[in-house]
Amino acid sequence: MRKILLPVDGSPHAFEAACFVIGLQRRIAELEAHVVAIEPKPMDWQTHGMEPEAIHSHLSTRAMLAMKPVLHALSEAGVTHHAHVRLGDAAESIVELCDALGCDTIVMGTRGLGRVASLTLGSVANKVLHLAKVPVVCVKAPAA
């Protein structure tokens, strides 16, 4: 069985990556997608006075909202999938979860900013490409 990690953030680029996975499922009979939304850990000043459970609940709700359209599309297409929520650095969390789940591929959307822009703005996809031990497929959404 092929296990694919599909990081999502609610963007059209992430949805396009989900569509790519749906297309793969038509060619690979046994495919399992692990959808993950990652929320950055909040700074102490952002959560002053909040209970840890309330913080986690709020961030989990935000992550589930980002995953909702992708999970629906995967369900409609009959793709076996599981949802995961993580807190922390996006790229590091993606690679750690990939390793922990034993995924053999990461499929992720990218804005395709290009070399110069990604150097100045940073790029989760670029960092994942450098950290991952498995192939990473970057899917660019068509221009709107």
What does the alpha-carbon distance between residue 67 and residue 61 come to, in Å, rounded to a whole number? Answer: 10
- Report if residue 91 sits inside a domain: yes
Count up the domains in the chain and report the number. 1
Residue at 26 is within a domain: yes
Structural contact between residues 34 and 81, judged by C-beta atoms closer than 8 angstroms: yes
Please choose, from the candidates 59, 8, 57, the residue with its C-alpha nearest in 3D space to the C-alpha of residue 37: 8
The CATH number given to whatever domain includes residue 115 is 3.40.50.620
Tell whether 10 is covered by a domain: yes
pTM over 0.75: yes
Residue 1 lies in a domain: no
The candidate with the shortest Cα–Cα distance to 140, out of 10, 15, 8, is 15
Rounded Cα gap, residues 39 and 42, in angstroms: 9
pLDDT of residue 25: 87
pLDDT along the chain (144 residues), means of 10: 94 93 89 93 67 74 91 96 92 97 95 52 81 94 68
